[in-house]
Structure 1
Amino acid sequence: MLEVRDEDDYSIEMFYREAWRDPRLKYSRAKFKNKTEISLHESYSNFLWHPDTFVPNAIASKNPRKQSITHRSLLRIQNAFHMKKT
């Protein structure tokens, strides 16, 4: 036996959803045909505040690969100012 390495670490690719309230995004439902939910293009993620997600005790965190299906995100404003990011 040359070397025993017990690193106790692993890699995962996961799906997660965040939800939060942002009163600054309140909109008039009358102007949007009384819709209770508005879907936004993922590029809006760069312009909107969203929670800083972290994993305690993580060794490293990497952005998903461009070709990965998980690279895409879905932004929705519900009930005037309740945000969901998937």
Structure 2
Amino acid sequence: GRSLGKTNPLNDDDLKEFVEFQSTFRESERSWFFALKDVDPASFDLSVKNPNAPEDDPLREQEEILAEIADLDQESEEILAAIGEMLA
């Protein structure tokens, strides 16, 4: 949930849940297990997708987005026209 680096390293709070859960092998939204066979032996890349994370909302269809933009444009035109009438 935060950007880590040389000026913002891991700290004790970052590892608190890990230390607590490791003795019981408990899983959570931020900790989980996966089979060693699922790890690429060429790279040992552990940046797997978190299976416990909530799913993202599905993307909307392009037509739906364009229709919403058109509705918002129409609403903006009406507001600008009303403001123009007030200033006249």
- By the TM > 0.5 criterion, same fold? no
Question: Which structure's relative contact order is higher, taking Cα pairs within 8 Å and 6+ residues apart?
Answer: 1
Between Structure 1 and Structure 2, the one with more helix by share is: 2
Q: Which has the higher strand share?
A: 1
- Structure with higher Rg: it is 2
Taking structure 1 as the reference length, the TM-score comes to 0.18
- TM-score, length basis structure 2: 0.18
